């Protein structure tokens, strides 16, 4: 894969990778006659992942600006982070193991897109592990007292994860939704 298409570098997908996008633009997806339950479910899962990431960011920002007390932060943070990262890990696992091979089988031209999306998953997973490690550092420091540096470090790491994830989710949608509209969802069951 070209370096400029790596997650963290690219600003979107080129037309030759998202080759069904121009004929199936995002604005028309939900009104398309072939828009079905799987596409709806997929977009809803992505929206939920974005909301869960936003909840973790809001909690961390609250700790940093003092609007969330240190004493109440840890259990809320652990619950929100576990929900987000567990959901993300499970979603990517299902995509890698179940759905991506089925999309690849639809058309040989899908290969470039799914090579790229699988490489994205590996990059997101590496950042997820760094985020977990940073969260552990924050919780350990908080248990010992105030942790302003650790909170800032976690916010930076989590921000990187969310930026990677936002790019990945948007680009993946531009591959999978047009493919479902064109090929039908029964091919993916």
List interacting residues with Fe ion (CB under 5 A): 95, 172
CB of 176 to Fe ion, least distance (A): 8
CB of 45 to Fe ion, least distance (A): 7
Sequence-distant (≥ 6) Cβ neighbours of residue 75 within 8 angstroms: none
Q: Give the single-character DSSP code of 4.
A: G
Name which of 8 and 148 has its Cβ closer to Fe ion.
Answer: 8
Name which of 64 and 170 has its Cβ closer to Fe ion.
Answer: 170
Name which of 150 and 172 has its Cβ closer to Fe ion.
Answer: 172
Name which of 32 and 99 has its Cβ closer to Fe ion.
Answer: 99
Name which of 73 and 114 has its Cβ closer to Fe ion.
Answer: 114
Which among 127, 164, 137 has a CA at the least distance from the CA of 60? Answer: 137
Separation CA 22–CA 153 (nearest Å): 40
Per DSSP, the residues of 133-161 read: HHHHHHHHHHHHS--HHHHHHHHHHHHHH
Sign of the CA dihedral running 71, 76, 79, 82: negative
CB of 83 to Fe ion, least distance (A): 16
Q: Give the single-character DSSP code of 36.
A: -
Which whole-number Å values give the CA distances from 47 to 14, 27, 52, in the listed order?
A: 23, 16, 9
CB of 16 to Fe ion, least distance (A): 20
CB of 81 to Fe ion, least distance (A): 19
């Amino acid at each position: 894969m070209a370096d400029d298409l790596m997650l963290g570098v690219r600003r979107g997908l080129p037309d030759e990778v998202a080759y069904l996008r121009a004929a199936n633009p995002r604005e028309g997806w939900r009104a398309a006659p072939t828009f079905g339950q799987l596409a709806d479910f997929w977009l809803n899962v992505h929206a939920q992942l974005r909301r869960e990431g936003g909840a973790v960011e809001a909690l961390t920002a609250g700790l940093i600006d003092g609007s969330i007390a240190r004493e109440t932060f840890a259990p809320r943070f652990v619950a929100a982070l576990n929900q987000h990262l567990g959901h993300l890990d499970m979603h990517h696992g299902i995509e890698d193991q179940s759905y991506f091979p089925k999309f690849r089988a639809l058309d040989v031209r899908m290969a470039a897109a799914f090579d790229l999306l699988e490489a994205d998953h590996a990059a997101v997973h590496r950042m997820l592990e760094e985020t977990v490690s940073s969260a552990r550092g924050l919780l350990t420091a908080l248990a010992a007292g105030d942790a302003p540096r650790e909170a800032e470090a976690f916010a930076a790491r989590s921000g990187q994860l969310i930026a990677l994830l936002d790019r990945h989710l948007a680009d993946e949608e531009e591959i999978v939704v047009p493919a479902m509209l064109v090929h039908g969802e029964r091919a993916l069951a």
